[in-house]
Structure 1
Amino acid sequence: MTSDDLAAEVSHTAAGGNRHPSAADWGPGVLAFGAGVNIAIWNPADPRCRGVSALLRGHTDTVNAIKFNITDSGCHLISGGADKTVRVWKPSHDPSRPSYEQVAVLTEHSASINTISVLPDCDIFVTGAADGTMKIWRLTGAGADLIQSISLKPRMLPLTTALVHLRGGSVTIAVAGTSSTIQLFSRPSEDAEFELQASLAGHEGWIRSLDFVHSGEDILLASASQDKYIRLWRFRSAGDHAGIKLSDVPDAGLAATKKSLSNKAHRVGLETAKFAVTFEALLIGHEDWIYTAKWAPSWTDQSAPRLLSASADNSLAIWQADEASGFWVCNARLGEISSQKGSTTATGSTGGFWIGLWQPDVESVVSLGRTGSWRRWLYDRAVDSWRQQVGISGHTQEVQGVAWSRDGSYLLTTSSDQTTRLLAEWKRDGHVSWHEFARPQIHGYDLNCISSLGVNQFISGADEKLLRVFDKPRAIDHLLTTLSGTPSTVDGTLADAANIPVLGLSNKAVAAVADDEPADGQVNGHADEHQVVAPDSVIHKSTLDIDHPPYEDQLARHTLWPEHEKLYGHGYEISAVAASHDGRLVATACKASSIDHAVIRLYETSEWREVKPALTAHTLTVTALAFSGDDLYLLSVGRDRQWALFERNSKEPTRYAPLIANPKGHTRMILDCDWAPTAAGHVFATAGRDKHVRVWKLADGQAECIANIPAHVSITAVAIHHETILATLLLAYGTDDGCVGIVNLSTNALEVTQQRMLPVHHCSSAAITCLRWRPSVGTGKEEQNLAVASEDGAVRLFRFQT
């Protein structure tokens, strides 16, 4: 194959959103949100539900704030992060590149950026950071120029800002954060600098969100706080309302002490065009901190403004003034009902909504929750209600491992965010898109590794020093069969579903009940007073009888897999796990700083007992394990710079014995390994910190290095396709800086015939942690799929056409 014979494209990207109220914005036809150190681009209204279309690389730490700025000169995307930088992006017109490209990096702040606000149809924007300053900028062709820097006093860290045009040409900035007051800055004249003109008191907690909207001749400011309330403030032209008593000199210290419903008026604006600011309304209804409050963007001067609020009580609320009385009321509430909140366990509260956004045409709203998943609701005019739609999801921490099912029908991913997720294809009407179909494991420890045991079982290892085996429930099998078109693998041993009992730690198998049956807490079909299940978490047979991928509330509550077994024996955090191809054995290892713990333990899967004695060869942590395609050999690599081979006992297939070891396989620690298909002989590859992939061939009990593949940085992952394609072996490797290389090896001489790197804009912004080729069952040899896991929290699926 030549370079033109192997065309790569990203078929799916899964990335969870950052939990920061300012970390997303919905612009024309696209929503941008912070996903770790990346910026994810997603079109929620895409009828094909293709999810994230691009991840923008640039920031070196968590992205906290994102804002679109649309002017006559075009559309800019402005982002700020914990790396203390503000970055300006412009749309890219190159179809082979991401949709936005970085044009400027602003480094004037000395701490994490928390908020960005823009002025519609204007080139001015404002940033606020944890250094206690607010900076005003003007966009230019080359990026942005700093106009003014303001140190907020009394000492306050800005968490939210908002900008508005006042009549007469004045601009007012509202800023709030780690205090209970809102500070208003305006210019006394058009050529002067911004200065503090008023402080609005009333809130009793930190203020997390500010937003302006025009209401006829007046302007409304909404402020949302951790005191569980939203306050509305009205800006009136002082000349039109001469009877309003204006405060003479704003006193920030005095205002901060007043917690009453005072209607004292303040003046802001130009000397020739003053506005009076008075308290308008107190919106009561949320039961926990309110993170965002956003006005509906597209309405006329004659229509009544609507406000969308997102709260940690796991709900979105839409507020509007009643036409008859003028009182502000909540006319729609989206999210979870009270009985589903409760504790913050795996199946209890999902931790609330951190972000709520309107679609620019106001026909849809989205919210981001603690799990990193986006939910979407679409307004149905026919029935005057909001209907939930398919959203997107992804891990929120480093993805540590991926594993395909043995038939390639689904992909399992596991992460430091303490969840295991199942991705599969949704096939309908000629369209194919990838989605999260299940969340089999919601854990209390960081998950480090995973391996598939056939099509109905997997095993994962975590920081809790033990491994857990899970079985696929009937509900998920039915969902995969219905939506993905995969053959059903149901047998008599599979449970209907799984749940976590009250005060329990393990997923328990439960029997699904009919919709009209009572929630009696049946476990495995029998009532057990010691394993009582919360009534709102009982699985009904119709719960997952759906024609679309599960929504986030269904994923978090109804797609767990029952736990089959726990494997004990290791003394430290699990570092590696591998299952044999025949499914009889599981090999495991844990973190180790001495030879006593740097052992490989084998467990047979019929009775789940350890096969003793443990295998010894390494002196430090074993980083990866792999069985050969015929299970004749077990390969291990470790931080002690050596690899070791163990051979299966011909008389006792569950026992392995040391065959050979190479203490100088690499000059630095070895981080990953994999076997080539047995059609090429017993060939394996090792990858290490010494920036090399070495390919070894086993013959007559000895291993010879037959190929050496160099890279520009340390290599952290390697994978060889389990089938030969056009007399070629496909080898992929991942690097410490997030790049992925593809190498073609001839099956005869095992020589490198081609080596190339995937485009940088397709690659990760952090180290690659795991690579796995999809088994070619049912897909043919014209298309190859590679799953890539990374420390940037994203899972990328690449499709290669040959």
Structure 2
Amino acid sequence: MTDAHARVEYLAAGGNRHPSAADWASGLLAFGAGQNVALWNPEDERHNGISALLHGHTDHVNAVKIYDDSRKRHLISGGADSTIRIWAPSDQDYPPFKQVQCLTDHQGSINTISVLPELSLFITGSADGTVKVWDLSDTGAKLVQSVSLKPRYLPLTTAIALLADGAVVIAVAGTASSIQLYVREEAGAEFALQATLTGHEGWIRSLDFVQEGNGDLLLASSSQDKYIRLWRLHKGAVATESLTAGAALTVGKEALSNRAHQVGSPSVKYSATFEALLIGHEDWIYTARWAPQTTSCSSPTLLSASADNSLSMWSADEASGVWICGTRLGELSAQKGSTSATGSTGGFWTGMWQPDGRAVVSLGRTGSWRRWQHDKEKDMWLQQVGIGGHTQEVQSLAWATDGSYLLTTSADQTTRLFAEWKREDQRSWHEFSRPQIHGYDLNCIDSLGPNRFISGADEKLLRVFDKPKAIDNLLSKLSGTAATVDGELADAANMPVLGLSNKAVTAAEDDEQPNGIVDGDTDDREVVDPKSVVHKSTLDLDHPPLEDHLARHTLWPEHEKLYGHGYEICAVATSRDGSLVATACKASSIEHAVIRLYETTSWREIKPSLTAHTLTVTSLAFSEDDQYLLSVGRDRQWAIFEKDAEATNSFKPFASNPKGHARMILDCSWAYGAAKHVFATAGRDKSVKIWRVADRSAECVTTIVASSSVTAFAFAPRTSGNGIQLAYGTEDGSIQLATLHEATLRAEKSTPLSKAMCPSGAVTRLQWRPRRSVDGNDLLGVASEDGSIRMLMISG
């Protein structure tokens, strides 16, 4: 590939479920996504989603902070790999940040980071039971002090603030019910414990300081005891002992106490007292964050995010001074329940303010970000388009046969559909549907046309799904795809409360109750949850579905189940004409290492099963003309089955090579066009082999040596004047583009993609979009163990 060039077209990754794993500053929201740091600008009117995934961590990212000082912007991230990594602006277009330092002083998972750019300080808290203080200068970060927490507990949250005379206060809390205040009285001195604030009855998950106009500091603490406590650090004399009216209550076994604690330096003392108790959440509270102070006289407003699926905004009543919840976003507690498509979203792990205070975001259990923006005219918070992605390894992906959308499936037990949102002169990719929300890890998927797909899971069977009319209309309206003839599709789908099968339903009018499930009566196990009823107007949208829609109203009805395998399904492939499905399951014996064929008219199994392998079949592929079926496996061999001319839809052994590779073979693919009877195998032996079928056998004509085990391979769906194009991905996440001479099949060009564009985990699946994009380039879909979905635009 002479002038091979690639750019990132789209990235999708779910956020990590950790209260500290995200931060929002002007024009940038950075959050942990698996072992990557994802960058997103929620204020971007083009809705381009994640702009980059930074990789360096080797385990989940638990804490992220944006560090803005007078010089430049840095990112500070901490992970379960016990490291803190510092990222500085890059001099390249992509990615916009580069890692400049890795700190390994902690001996446990990093849980919290707080920054004080005014004094070039940041602090980190770790599962090793210490809080460390760092100085960040032009030459990098330097450890200033390590504080061992006593009595020993694990810090989950910290907050840092500047006092009036230059003293600095740090609040630390975590797996204990108290908050410790450490103060550094002057520059160069060490932090010392000066006060312990008690009152909470559970672990404390979030701390945040804000300065009031009178010079006082307010500290908000949120806990797993379902309460938020406010603490006042009052400059000067001891603050009044009186409690706010709403706080004079008895919670648990102890009455509320307002004992004053003295903190600060010898020159300026502060009294730390209990200010208010905020009651209203019904489950653990993960974050409590103060709104940005847009004016010096504005009263503080607190945003809290809870496992009860709500965001609450709290402020003090001007007349009485009592803290009240004036705005509540999210879901009503009455809608809590199952975390499937018929229940709740599983709680909000993070709530954050836009830097100007005009919008808020929250991260839910599904890894998706919701966003609300304040409408001044209506004085309402209106939900906007957010972003989302898988939260576990992405096991497989498949393009629709017409290239109109991409399907992905993951160990997070969901199947997701991504398509392009086209409007005027703008285009952006978004999640349009969540066809399958399952109870088992999903391992493989393939498309059976523009309106149907099949997926295999750990439950030992395969399920076939049909596109519902609601999604068809939405894709037609927003993506410009051809609409299906009316009457061919069910209106929508629903999942019974105690079931795993998506049932086709008739969409109800807005003023109607659901009329039940199509195709017969139901029993008690198939009672439809009224919260997930699809009304005809539900998906009549002028924008991609919001997370509320995706989590409940975008299921696809199940068409068929395919039985026969004895273990977890691991591979599936559909014929080019859509008439056949080939499947395989995990196997440690010849008995189960069979390939089962199903025809798609009556969905009956074509017997006998195809046998050739002795261990798990890892990949299956039909040739372009459906003449051959190729299989590869952990037993190091490949096998080809030929269509039987005498028996319809039946295949018989054609050729095999029991020593195709020196180690297990992990993927295979057929070439297209004039080279349609050319195939490739990729293996653990760090090689890709190109084979040509001839005379009831196949010969290896080219071997491409890779730097690591090759885990995924795909031929491009066209041949150009430059030859046959292909891509392969490896266990270390790298992706290589190559070109074969069309006649000799010799490798002519090989170009590695920039590491920044590649995943940080093993590549699990590569597939080219079946049709060329508008500008003549090719789009490559990439699935990875790092939980990300990538679309790379390849030109050459």
- TM-score, normalising length: structure 2: 0.97
Give runs of aligned pairs for residues 72-471 of structure 1, distance below 5 A. 72-95=70-93, 97-216=94-213, 217-239=215-237, 241=238, 259-471=254-466
Deviation string, structure 1 residues 198-248 (Cα, Å, up to 9, x no partner) = 110111110000000001221100000011110000010134x48779xxx
Q: Say which of 690, 693, 698 aligns to 2:693.
A: 698
2:89 and 2:128 map into 1 onto residues whose CA distance is 30
Match of 2:767 in 1: 772
1:516 and 1:160 map into 2 onto residues whose CA distance is 47
Match of 1:58 in 2: 56
1:665 and 1:764 map into 2 onto residues whose CA distance is 28
Match of 2:246 in 1: none
Moved more, 671-680 or 45-54: 671-680
1:120 shift after superposition: 4.3
1:242 and 1:566 map into 2 onto residues whose CA distance is 69
1:289 and 1:490 map into 2 onto residues whose CA distance is 48
- Consecutive unaligned residues in structure 1, runs of 5 or more: 246-255
Give runs of aligned pairs for residues 527-546 of structure 1, distance below 5 A. 528-530=522-524, 531-546=526-541
2:500 and 2:240 map into 1 onto residues whose CA distance is 65
For the residue of structure 2 that corresponds to 1:793, the secondary structure is coil
Match of 1:248 in 2: none
Structure 1's 193 and 596: CA in aligned 2 closer, same or farther, altered over 3 A? same
Task: Check the 8 A contact 2:340/2:437 in 1, yes or no.
Answer: no
Give runs of aligned pairs for residues 751-770 of structure 1, distance below 5 A. 751-770=746-765
Deviation string, structure 1 residues 593-648 (Cα, Å, up to 9, x no partner) = 11111111111111111111111101111000000001100000001111000001
Question: Number of matched residues?
Answer: 786
Structure 1's 484 and 258: CA in aligned 2 closer, same or farther, altered over 3 A? same
Match of 1:23 in 2: 21
1:781 and 1:219 map into 2 onto residues whose CA distance is 56
2:48 and 2:119 map into 1 onto residues whose CA distance is 33
1:73 shift after superposition: 2.4
Moved more, 665-674 or 70-79: 70-79
2:240 and 2:338 map into 1 onto residues whose CA distance is 51
1:748 shift after superposition: 2.0
1:155 shift after superposition: 1.5
For the residue of structure 2 that corresponds to 1:722, the secondary structure is strand
Match of 1:792 in 2: 786
Task: Check the 8 A contact 1:766/1:790 in 2, yes or no.
Answer: yes
1:173 shift after superposition: 0.4
Q: Which amino acid aligns with 2:36?
A: N
Q: Which amino acid aligns with 1:82?
A: A
Q: Which amino acid aligns with 1:53?
A: S
For the residue of structure 2 that corresponds to 1:391, the secondary structure is strand
Structure 1's 149 and 225: CA in aligned 2 closer, same or farther, altered over 3 A? same
Deviation string, structure 1 residues 247-305 (Cα, Å, up to 9, x no partner) = xxxxxxxxx99943101000111122110011101111111100000001233221101
Deviation string, structure 1 residues 509-531 (Cα, Å, up to 9, x no partner) = 000011011234x1117664543
1:190 shift after superposition: 4.3
Q: Which amino acid aligns with 2:226?
A: K
1:345 shift after superposition: 2.9
Q: Which amino acid aligns with 1:40?
A: A
Task: Check the 8 A contact 2:6/2:794 in 1, yes or no.
Answer: yes
Match of 1:250 in 2: none
Q: Which amino acid aligns with 2:424?
A: D
Task: Check the 8 A contact 2:130/2:146 in 1, yes or no.
Answer: yes
Match of 1:717 in 2: 712
Q: Which amino acid aligns with 2:137?
A: T
Structure 1's 587 and 257: CA in aligned 2 closer, same or farther, altered over 3 A? closer
For the residue of structure 2 that corresponds to 1:523, the secondary structure is coil
For the residue of structure 1 that corresponds to 2:477, the secondary structure is helix
1:629 aligns with 2:627: no
For the residue of structure 1 that corresponds to 2:550, the secondary structure is helix
Task: Check the 8 A contact 2:166/2:185 in 1, yes or no.
Answer: no
For the residue of structure 1 that corresponds to 2:118, the secondary structure is coil
1:154 shift after superposition: 1.1
Structure 1's 220 and 607: CA in aligned 2 closer, same or farther, altered over 3 A? same
Deviation string, structure 1 residues 629-672 (Cα, Å, up to 9, x no partner) = 01100000001111000001112231111111101111111000
Task: Check the 8 A contact 1:400/1:789 in 2, yes or no.
Answer: yes
Match of 1:560 in 2: 555
1:33 aligns with 2:17: no
Task: Check the 8 A contact 1:219/1:235 in 2, yes or no.
Answer: yes
Structure 1's 190 and 733: CA in aligned 2 closer, same or farther, altered over 3 A? closer
Match of 1:43 in 2: 41
1:99 shift after superposition: 1.0
Task: Check the 8 A contact 2:226/2:284 in 1, yes or no.
Answer: yes
Structure 1's 242 and 687: CA in aligned 2 closer, same or farther, altered over 3 A? closer
Deviation string, structure 1 residues 57-77 (Cα, Å, up to 9, x no partner) = 110000000011112222211
Deviation string, structure 1 residues 161-210 (Cα, Å, up to 9, x no partner) = 00011111110000000010000001345443111111101111100000
Moved more, 573-582 or 651-660: 651-660
2:568 and 2:748 map into 1 onto residues whose CA distance is 40
Task: Check the 8 A contact 1:123/1:138 in 2, yes or no.
Answer: yes
1:489 and 1:675 map into 2 onto residues whose CA distance is 30
For the residue of structure 2 that corresponds to 1:545, the secondary structure is coil
1:398 and 1:529 map into 2 onto residues whose CA distance is 36
Structure 1's 27 and 189: CA in aligned 2 closer, same or farther, altered over 3 A? closer
2:584 and 2:107 map into 1 onto residues whose CA distance is 43
Q: Say which of 478, 488, 492 aligns to 1:497.
A: 492
* Identity level (%): 64
1:503 shift after superposition: 1.4
Deviation string, structure 1 residues 409-459 (Cα, Å, up to 9, x no partner) = 000000000000000000002111000000000011111000100111111
1:387 shift after superposition: 0.7
2:254 and 2:780 map into 1 onto residues whose CA distance is 58
1:328 and 1:405 map into 2 onto residues whose CA distance is 53
Give runs of aligned pairs for residues 644-793 of structure 1, distance below 5 A. 644-726=639-721, 728-776=723-771, 779=773, 782-793=776-787
Q: Which amino acid aligns with 2:87?
A: W
Structure 1's 42 and 781: CA in aligned 2 closer, same or farther, altered over 3 A? closer
2:400 and 2:259 map into 1 onto residues whose CA distance is 66
Moved more, 118-127 or 632-641: 118-127
Task: Check the 8 A contact 1:201/1:259 in 2, yes or no.
Answer: no
1:678 shift after superposition: 4.0
For the residue of structure 1 that corresponds to 2:717, the secondary structure is coil
Task: Check the 8 A contact 2:360/2:372 in 1, yes or no.
Answer: yes
For the residue of structure 1 that corresponds to 2:346, the secondary structure is coil
2:502 and 2:795 map into 1 onto residues whose CA distance is 40
2:635 and 2:63 map into 1 onto residues whose CA distance is 42
Match of 2:248 in 1: none
Task: Check the 8 A contact 1:85/1:105 in 2, yes or no.
Answer: yes
Q: Which amino acid aligns with 1:63?
A: V
Q: Which amino acid aligns with 2:789?
A: V
